[in-house]
Structure 1
Amino acid sequence: MNRLIKKGVPSLLTLSLGLLVISMFQGCHSSEGKNETAAVVDEPEPTEVFALQKGKLSSSLRIPGELVAYRDVDLYAKVSGFIKSIHADVGTEVREGQLLALAEAPELNAQLAAAESKLKAQEALYIASKSNYDRYVDAAKTPGTVAQSMLEQTLAKKESDYAQLQAAKAAYREVSDLRKYLEIRAPFSGIISLRNVSTGAYIGPSGKGSELPLFVLTEQKRLRLVVAVPEAYTGYVNQNDEVSFTVKAFPDRKFTGKVKRLAGALDKRLRSERTEVDVENNDRKLLPGMIAEVTIPLPTKSNTFVVPKSAVINSSTGVFIVKVLNQKAEWIPVQKGLENGDQVEIFGDLKEGDQIMTTATEEVRNGSAVRSVKQAS
Structure 2
Amino acid sequence: MKRLMYLLLGAAALTACTNRQTTQTKTDEGVLTKTAAAETAEVRLTEEFTSEIEPYKENDITPAAQGVHINRILVDVGDQVKAGQLLVTLDPTQYTQARVQLKTVEDDYNRLLPVYKAGGISAQQIQQAKAQVDVQREAVANLKKNIEVKSPITGVVTARNYESGDLFAAQPILHVMQIDPLKVIVNISEQYFPNVKVGMPVELLVDIFPDKKFTGTVSLIYPALDPATRTFKVEVRVPNANRTLRPGMFARTIFDLGEKPGIMVPDVAVQKQVGTAERYLYVITSDSVAERRAVKLGRQIGDRIDVLSGVEAGEQVAVTALSKLYDGAKVSVKQD
TM-score range, shorter chain: 0.7 to 0.9
Task: Say if 2:142 is the partner of 1:178.
Answer: yes
* Local SS of the residue matching 2:83: coil
- 2: CA distance between counterparts of 1:46 and 1:264? 56
Which structure has the larger Rg over C-alpha atoms?
A: 1
TM superposition shift of 1:341: 5.0
TM superposition shift of 1:177: 0.9
Q: 2:307: which partner in 1?
A: 346
- 1: CA distance between counterparts of 2:162 and 2:257? 52
Distance 1:188 1:234, change over 3 A: same
Q: 1:196: which partner in 2?
A: 161
Q: 1:55: which partner in 2?
A: 41
TM superposition shift of 1:297: 4.7
Contact 2:109-2:133 within 8 A present in 1 as well? no
- 2: CA distance between counterparts of 1:319 and 1:313? 6
Of the three residues 248, 252, 259, the one matched with 2:218 is 259
1:276-316, CA deviations, whole angstroms, 9 ceiling, x for partnerless residues? 32222112232222223x15155552221122344446667
TM superposition shift of 1:174: 1.2
* Local SS of the residue matching 1:169: helix
Distance 1:369 1:32, change over 3 A: closer
Q: 1:303: which partner in 2?
A: 261
- 2: CA distance between counterparts of 1:361 and 1:322? 11
Q: 2:326: which partner in 1?
A: 364
Contact 1:59-1:340 within 8 A present in 2 as well? no
Task: Say if 2:4 is the partner of 1:44.
Answer: no
- 2: CA distance between counterparts of 1:331 and 1:300? 32
- 2: CA distance between counterparts of 1:277 and 1:113? 51
* Local SS of the residue matching 1:220: strand
- 1: CA distance between counterparts of 2:331 and 2:166? 92
TM superposition shift of 1:104: 2.6
Task: Say if 2:206 is the partner of 1:246.
Answer: yes
Please report the RMSD computed on the Cα atoms of aligned residues, expressed in angstroms. 3.8
Distance 1:68 1:369, change over 3 A: closer
Q: 1:83: which partner in 2?
A: 70
Task: Say if 2:247 is the partner of 1:288.
Answer: yes
* Local SS of the residue matching 1:122: helix
Determine what percentage of the aligned residue pairs are the same residue. 24
TM superposition shift of 1:188: 1.6
Structure 1 residues 3-18: aligned runs within 5 Å: none
* Local SS of the residue matching 2:88: strand
1:155-206, CA deviations, whole angstroms, 9 ceiling, x for partnerless residues? xx32x2453244123212212212321111111211222222322222xxxx
- TM-score norm. by structure 2 comes to 0.78
Contact 1:308-1:358 within 8 A present in 2 as well? yes
* Local SS of the residue matching 2:101: helix
Letter in 2 for 1:276: E
- TM-score norm. by structure 1 comes to 0.71
Letter in 1 for 2:41: G
- 2: CA distance between counterparts of 1:371 and 1:198? 83
- 2: CA distance between counterparts of 1:319 and 1:275? 32
| Bigger fraction of residues in helix | 1
Contact 1:102-1:183 within 8 A present in 2 as well? yes
- 2: CA distance between counterparts of 1:196 and 1:371? 77
- 1: CA distance between counterparts of 2:217 and 2:324? 45
**316-325 or 333-342, larger mean C-alpha shift:** 316-325
TM superposition shift of 1:99: 1.2
Q: 1:213: which partner in 2?
A: 172
Of the three residues 274, 279, 302, the one matched with 2:238 is 279
Uncovered stretches (5+) of structure 2, i.e. residues with no partner: none
* Local SS of the residue matching 1:210: coil
- 2: CA distance between counterparts of 1:166 and 1:74? 37
* Local SS of the residue matching 1:194: strand
Uncovered stretches (5+) of structure 1, i.e. residues with no partner: 1-14, 134-153, 203-208
Letter in 2 for 1:26: A
Distance 1:126 1:310, change over 3 A: same
* Local SS of the residue matching 1:73: strand
Task: Say if 2:89 is the partner of 1:130.
Answer: no
- 1: CA distance between counterparts of 2:192 and 2:297? 12
TM superposition shift of 1:119: 3.2
Contact 1:319-1:335 within 8 A present in 2 as well? yes
- 2: CA distance between counterparts of 1:317 and 1:74? 48
Task: Say if 2:32 is the partner of 1:73.
Answer: no
**342-351 or 226-235, larger mean C-alpha shift:** 226-235
Distance 1:200 1:40, change over 3 A: same
Task: Say if 2:63 is the partner of 1:102.
Answer: no
* Local SS of the residue matching 1:71: strand
TM superposition shift of 1:342: 4.3
